């Protein structure tokens, strides 16, 4: 005799695999958020006006953010979000490596690089939020982080002549708010993991 544990009606089965995968990787989302918050605090506590320092700060943050995304994707293949996480991770790592391998970047080039990185990450997060809106509650945190990223990237590309110090402060504000949104999303995903109903079939001998 088989006994099936059904999910409640509100549980969207069509999107469940993707949401469950994100829930299992909640820690990666939280770590990305913590990295953003720390980066933002550093930008305010120790504001720097040199382009070299700005390059190192951004490169380190982009690398950390990208690595967390790649790790989450590598350990979660089989569900829809993994390729989006991988793509976002590659974009972050690529942007970080460019800043370290070509430290002589001009301020204008660096500004556009950061802007493109932010917009690309934002688009991927908004796509994920739309796909998962019926599977997780408070998915707007993911959409909010994506929207913030796109707005920030757009502002940088619209005002590329801003000085290095102004750019550091802009990036600091973005990273801090973006980090808070990601931590909130990670906490919600962790709660979802605990709430996810059993969907296995147990067979009696």
pLDDT, tens only, 132-145:
666 555 567 778 88
Distance CA 19, CA 5 (A): 19
Give me the residues paired with residue 77 across strands. 79
Length of the chain: 205
Distance CA 70, CA 92 (A): 9
pLDDT tens, N- to C-terminus, the chain (205 residues): 333 333 344 444 444 555 666 677 778 788 888 988 988 888 777 766 555 676 677 788 888 888 888 887 776 655 556 777 788 888 889 888 888 888 666 667 777 888 888 898 888 878 877 776 665 555 677 788 888 889 888 888 887 666 666 777 777 888 888 888 888 888 887 876 666 554 433 333 4
What is residue 109's predicted lDDT score, i.e. its pLDDT?
Answer: 78
What is residue 6's predicted lDDT score, i.e. its pLDDT?
Answer: 38
Distance CA 69, CA 205 (A): 43
Residues 6+ apart with CB under 8 A from 133: 139
Distance CA 193, CA 173 (A): 30
Distance CA 101, CA 12 (A): 45
Distance CA 1, CA 202 (A): 9
What is residue 2's predicted lDDT score, i.e. its pLDDT?
Answer: 37
Q: What is the DSSP letter of 203?
A: E
Q: What is the DSSP letter of 77?
A: B
Coil, helix or strand at residue 201: strand
Distance CA 72, CA 44 (A): 29
Distance CA 160, CA 166 (A): 11
- pTM for this structure? 0.62
What is residue 3's predicted lDDT score, i.e. its pLDDT?
Answer: 35
What is residue 170's predicted lDDT score, i.e. its pLDDT?
Answer: 76
What is residue 100's predicted lDDT score, i.e. its pLDDT?
Answer: 82
Residue of 51, 23, 157, 187 whose CA lies nearest to 107? 51
What is residue 126's predicted lDDT score, i.e. its pLDDT?
Answer: 84
What is residue 190's predicted lDDT score, i.e. its pLDDT?
Answer: 81
Distance CA 42, CA 82 (A): 31
Residue 179: Cβ within 10 Å count: 24
The 10s digit of each residue's pLDDT in 188-200 is 878 766 665 544 3
What is residue 80's predicted lDDT score, i.e. its pLDDT?
Answer: 53
- Domains of the chain, with CATH numbers? 2-203 (1.25.40)
Give me the residues paired with residue 79 across strands. 77
Give me the residues paired with residue 3 across strands. 202
């Amino acid at each position: 005799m088989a006994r099936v544990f059904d999910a409640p009606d509100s549980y969207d089965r069509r999107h469940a695999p993707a949401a469950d995968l994100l829930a299992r990787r909640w820690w990666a989302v939280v770590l990305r958020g913590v990295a953003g918050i720390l980066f933002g605090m550093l930008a305010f506590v120790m504001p720097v006006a040199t382009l070299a320092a700005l390059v190192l700060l951004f490169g380190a943050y982009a690398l950390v953010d990208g690595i967390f995304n790649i790790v989450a994707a590598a350990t979660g293949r089989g569900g829809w979000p993994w390729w989006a996480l991988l793509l976002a991770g590659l974009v972050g790592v690529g942007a970080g490596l460019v800043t370290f391998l070509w430290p002589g970047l001009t301020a204008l080039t660096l500004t556009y690089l950061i802007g493109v990185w932010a917009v690309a990450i934002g688009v991927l997060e908004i796509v994920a939020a739309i796909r998962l809106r019926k599977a997780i509650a408070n998915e707007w945190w993911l959409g909010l982080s994506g929207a913030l990223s796109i707005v920030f990237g757009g502002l940088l590309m619209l005002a590329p002549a801003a000085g290095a110090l102004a750019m550091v402060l802009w990036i600091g504000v973005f990273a801090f708010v973006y980090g808070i949104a990601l931590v909130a999303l990670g906490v919600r995903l962790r709660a979802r993991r605990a709430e996810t109903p059993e969907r296995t079939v147990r067979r009696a001998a």
